[in-house]
Amino acid sequence: MSTPPTENSMRFAETELVRKKQLSERIAQFAFLMMTLAMVLPLLLIVTYLIYKAMPALSLGFLFDLPSRGMRAGGIWPALLGTIYLVVVSLVIAAPIGVLAAVYLNEYAQDNWFTRIINLAVINLAGVPSIVHALFGLGAFVLFAGIGRSVLAASLTLAVMTLPVIIASTKEALSAVPMSFREACWNMGVSRWKTIRGVVLPNSISGILTGIILQVSRAAGETAPIMFTGAVFYKAVQKGDVFAYGLLDQCMALAMHLFTISTQVPGVDEAIPFATAVVLLGTVLLVNAAAIIMRIILRTRKKW
């Protein structure tokens, strides 16, 4: 025999308003889930399709062999090596400059019309099309500076193109560090630079790595900037030679190679362009995964 509800139990019973709010919450959760799936599922389908079409050509030999039969067969070693060179050199150039510029803008620069113009310029540069950066690199580095079409000129162009992303993300990461951390150091007589070096940068390193990850992804996948400044249709190198390119040499690159064999070379085996795309995607994902793991490790060391 059930007991009649008491006054207290009736007081905390669900009302019609609570049930409507819970229904609205479930509808919102379902809508957000559908939006997430709408973004993730196409990506998974594209990657699955690429891997399926690339399977006949994917192998270690494909990575380390040289192109043959006019790039209709063989491997992609010169293009893979050239991509690594371009990404590494552009990262070495862009990362220090971008981080130091963000440190100055966030920690030293006063809030006036000049710094506001600089911040606006950084934001606008992040949206400039890559072909514009390519023409700038051609004029500034290849012609004006006299470097010529080379790994260095292409890397400098990629560095200029990716600098705004590094500056913006680093500035946001520095701004996220509580001001009380800085004030505590200053009250103890610590200089501004030592505070930045010992407190601000270690606590913002995970956000800084986010910008660098974006830089690596964009630099590896760009075609127009390197096409105008340093990439070539074909470059003869020795198989397995990791020092095949000098800074003033032209090089092959995966993005350029993929464009070439897909549009300019007839009779290419169908699996080779797909395999090249998978290698390019895998290279970017591998670098990103390493940076993400490093970022997670560094984030666990935060004191706040």
Residue 111 confidence (pLDDT): 81
Exposed/middle/buried for residue 102 (C-beta within 10 Å: 0-12, 13-18, 19+): buried
Collapse the DSSP code of 179 into the 3-class scheme (helix H, G, I; strand E, B; otherwise coil) and give the result: helix
Residue 13 confidence (pLDDT): 63
Question: Which residues, listed in sequence order, are joined to residue 251 by a DSSP beta bridge?
Answer: 231
Q: Is the overall model pTM greater than 0.75, yes or no?
A: yes
Q: What are the tokens at 220?
A: 């590896």
Place of tokens 């606008």: 124
Three-state DSSP string of 35-53: HHHHHHHHHHHHHHHHHHH
Distance CA(131)–CA(228), nearest Å, equals 9
DSSP summary character for residue 111 = S
> Which amino acid is present at 164?
P
Residue 304 confidence (pLDDT): 56
Domain spans of the chain, in order of start: 78-299
Distance CA(300)–CA(298), nearest Å, equals 5
* Topology adopted by domain 78-299: MetI-like fold (1.10.3720)
DSSP state letters, 125-136? HTTS-HHHHHHH
Taking each helix axis as running N to C, give the angle between helix 113-125 and helix 151-176, from 0 to 180 degrees, rounded to the nearest 10.
120
Place of tokens 């690594």: 84
**What is the chain's pLDDT, residue by residue, as a tens digit (304 residues)?**
555 555 555 555 667 788 888 888 899 999 999 999 998 898 899 989 999 998 988 888 888 888 888 888 888 889 889 998 999 999 899 999 999 999 998 888 888 888 888 888 888 887 888 889 999 999 999 999 889 899 999 999 999 998 888 898 888 888 888 888 888 888 888 888 888 888 888 888 878 887 788 777 778 888 888 988 988 888 888 877 788 888 898 999 998 888 888 888 888 888 889 999 999 888 888 877 877 787 777 767 665 5
